Structure 1
């Protein structure tokens, strides 16, 4: 109460972890909107996997906290795997809350098996009181998205399922719906649809522009990993563009430099994924086609490229809040058709074309000293390659060595300054898009030596295997990829679940 009085007289109060719950109750009781907002602002700043459920349950009782409550629910759905692993409060949720979470398309899980394991964990925390809820919770699991052996071995034979008549009936109907393709009764088909309805992805992969056929394209496609499907989205401001770079920063996409078969651009366009509107921001100092781009500490780096006359070793960086480009130190080598990424506070750029040779050299930039330093050269010369930070390594993928398009992949360890071979791609390619999403490395499109391609494959560092994914709708090389995550409304970009 002393804090409430203090706030009434001074307009400020110190909100802490220890007093925020009681302050919120008092502020709501006395209709002190300023103090309610202060408590909500503090709670939002504390949002993390460990604390999210506590904040969710605290704010559910206050209409004045409805925005924070909704935001916290989205956070839990998006980070569910981390919440399940780190939050002790998960085991104290009500069955109604579990039904609410597990019934959502937005629940982010790599494997549906995790949802069933979470139910078991919750029930076994207080088995005698909670085992009856299996019949309520099991229908919220998308059984058709599980591996068949898990469904038949772990679901059908689970003691909590076998001793509950409602569960036995549900599993029996689910088995018929999933495995008997001859059934065509409407009720069974509806059940099959419910059991196999994909959840929404935590992130969307965008393929922007590129060279398609004999000319650049302005089209954008987005990839929904949960259904392995590409969808058309928008156009790059109506302008065909290729050999450009794109990055995501603070929820916006920046499309940098490039070439439209006539002009070499120094322009930069910013895309708002919520409104799907493009607008131009400050131009770079130099025109840059075949540019390498990266993001580090809230700044966008544009490195090397070709200005229509010569290859470049210059670099510059963009500060979005100031809408300003600043020149930085030049590289040791002229590079176009290179690729860049960031890892452990440094920018890495590898390979490319000097105007005479395909390069195997690589450099790192330290923003603290404004210096480029040569690092160990790659094992293969690579122009039109893809460079990406994945785990604690920098991967160099594909490209052109002066004679052939490459399937080979190598990885650089900054701690040892050493490159090593990695499993080769399924397809040879250069001038493709590369990104990491869902803890997998994606390569998209490119040129295979004879034609522009639309094929897509992804690499899993845990299994050291490449897997083919659904092809893009449009064949394209010289495209750029970026990943959109944290969208409040992912349905704008995801495939239609209905």
Structure 2
């Protein structure tokens, strides 16, 4: 119990003394304790949260206006009859007010005039009598303000929880500003993180962006965790903020300009920035840009260490691609690589699983990665392994009913589905579903066709699966499973038969990419939009740069990435991505290991995303006996 609480709950008994001595060390220790007790603790801290049972009789007495012994008059003139003891039970403010604990020689106060609206006070009163608090977007700020003033910590916590759940690009800056006024440290931390992670949307949608102070904007733009697809977005932020009030804000221009990591932009992009008229009228900024262009031009043929050069230091990615397992050099592997899309580099992880596997399925749930089934060259697995990237640990999950390699795996409505595959004897049509919360598998209706080496995706809470091999032929057919009716139905067939295909959902359409048609590996891609009113079936769109089958596919930065695979003669480590808006394929950095039959996924917003970025990566030191 802190000192302030002791002063309120027990009278001080003074004892007369004629002589006393002071121990300086004890006195200094006491001063430090008093100082600590006066520091305000985070209002939304968990340790403040105490559950309390609210007797129903309280609400009945209030509704019947019985045994009321106090009055509260709000600023709009509305009067509430209250029970002082009930308000005192939830609020230290009202306890001190009504018990007159400060001026003990005076009578207790029974009436109070408050500078609060009756609408807001009624909500606080509801909580005092029932424990219920009707918080919504229109009243949360007022409720938090007065709950903090009256010391009703439980309401403050409810408000903070509501605001945390309500964070969006349009309101995060307002919430962050408000949280700083009330020592809501958790809300401040989450608000800061949200602004960094969704900065592009905040820049476009938040009306309060231009109200940021210069120092706060510098802090945001210089942060390693700022999630921007390109440093051009940082320049756009600087330009928008300065243009809002040029006469007062141009003094910040050079400092803000230095937040842009121009080493990650091309020479042409930097030259375009240099043509901003406001920059050309500022001699210091013009000199800075000239120096940057000179440096980049001089070292463009030299490899720069991004860790030691701020100009080319990459941001920490918000989205991390994990590439796990697969077939390489004639055997399966448990190898993990992660892709840092801000540095365009694949990094080798030292947290590989103990189980090597290929032709497995993989999906993510609650920031955990689940590896399902697969093949190690001898055994067909029914096992499931879970990797937690937040703490770098592996664990076993419940086994499937059947062993499955070449299995198709998706997550739909919080459940993991394993469809078809090969058990070492037959190609399968059976389907089972896993509940991660219960750690339990269950069988559901089988597909209409046997399929191994097919691929599945989820769109609008329905599961689609296409292609595959049935033991006799490569197929072009597809099916859809609706969990609400627990039934499989056919969808229009693809243009090409494909096994080892990748199917991925993006922007209300399905994309079937690559695969093997029974004769050759395919570079082609087909698109299907399941809109019954205008459905033309599958249509062919741009081809990949490299034909491939049995590769990983993810959505990253609004593009479709294809990773590794088999090109018909060898496993490859090539990575390329498809820009849907441009209808164009482009190359990305290659993996460190050639492999096919791998699986890939994306996890966003990891608290330790730096662990999987180039800023954390430390290349192995060469050993004395290493050659070369």
Conserved 8 A contact 2:306-2:312: no
Contact 1:376 1:417 in 2 (8 A): no
Q: Give the Cα–Cα distance (whole angstroms) in 2 for the partners of residues 166 and 420 of structure 1.
A: 55
- Give the stretch that moved more between structures: 79-88 or 144-153: 144-153
C-alpha contact (below 8 Å) 1:352/1:382 kept by paired residues: yes
CA contact (8 A) 1:445 1:477 kept: yes
Equivalent residue number for residue 179 of structure 2: 59
The residue aligned with 1:269 is: 385
Distance in 2 between the 1:337 and 1:158 partners? 54
Partner residue of 2:427? 311
Q: Secondary structure at the match of 2:136?
A: coil
1:413 corresponds, among 529, 532, 554, to 529
| Contact in 2 for aligned 1:341/1:387 (Cα 8 Å) | yes
CA gap of 1:168–1:190, structure 2 versus 1, over 3 A, is: farther
Structure 1: unaligned runs, 5 residues or longer: none
Measured against aligned partners, the alpha-carbon deviations of 1:100-122 in whole angstroms (never above 9, x if no partner) come to 11001111111211211122112
Residue 461 of structure 1: how far off its partner (Å): 1.1
Cα distance in structure 2, aligned partners of 1:401 and 1:182: 44
2-structure distance, mates of 1:150, 1:385: 38
Whether 1:386 aligns to 2:502 is yes
Give the Cα–Cα distance (whole angstroms) in 1 for the partners of residues 188 and 612 of structure 2.
24
Matched residues, number? 493
> Hey, what does 1:347 align to over in structure 2?
463
Bigger Cα Rg: 2
Q: What SS does the aligned partner of 1:441 have?
A: strand
Counterpart of 1:143 (choices 258, 262, 271) is 262
TM-score when scaled to structure 2?
0.75
CA–CA distance in 2 between the matches of 1:470 and 1:157?
Answer: 31
The 5-angstrom pairing of residues 269-418 of structure 1 reads: 269-415=385-531, 416-418=535-537
RMSD: 2.2
Q: Secondary structure at the match of 2:448?
A: coil
Q: After superposition, where does 1:36-47 map in structure 2 within 5 Å? A: 36-47=156-167
Counterpart position of 1:15: 135
Q: Which residue of 2 aligns with 1:483?
A: 602
Alpha-carbon distance, 1:257 to partner: 0.8
1:242 aligns with 358
Q: 1:491 to 1:308 in 2, by over 3 A?
A: same
Q: Report the Cα offset of residue 250 of structure 1.
A: 1.5
C-alpha deviation, 1:216, in angstroms? 0.6
Q: Following the alignment from structure 1 to structure 2, what is the Cα–Cα distance between the partners of residues 10 and 136?
A: 53
1:78 maps to 197
Q: After TM superposition, what 4+ stretches of structure 1 lie above 6 angstroms from structure 2?
A: 188-192
Q: Deviations for 1:61-90, whole angstroms, at most 9, x for unmatched residues?
A: 333x11111111111111111111111111
Summarize the Cα distance change of 1:408–1:117 in structure 2 as closer, same or farther, 3 Å threshold. same
1 CA distance for matches of 2:259 and 2:337? 31
Shift of 1:182: 9.6
Which runs of no fewer than 5 residues in structure 2 stay unpaired? 1-115, 618-628
- Deviations 1:174-212 (Å, cap 9, x if unpaired)? 22222233999xxx9999922221112220111110111
Give the structure 1 partner of residue 293 of structure 2: 175
User: Taking structure 1 as reference, are residues 131 and 497 closer, same or farther at Cα in structure 2, changes over 3 Å only?
Assistant: farther
Q: Provide the secondary structure at the position in 2 that maps to 1:239.
A: coil
CA contact (8 A) 2:267 2:293 kept: no
What secondary structure, in the 3-state scheme, does the structure 2 residue paired with 1:283 have? coil
The 3 A distance-change label for structure 1 pair 57 and 95 is: same
Secondary structure, counterpart of 1:468 in structure 2: strand
The structure with higher relative contact order (CA 8 Å, sep 6+) is: 1
- Give the drift of 1:339: 0.5
Distance in 1, matches of 2:134 and 2:193, equals: 28
Residue 300 (structure 1) shift = 1.2
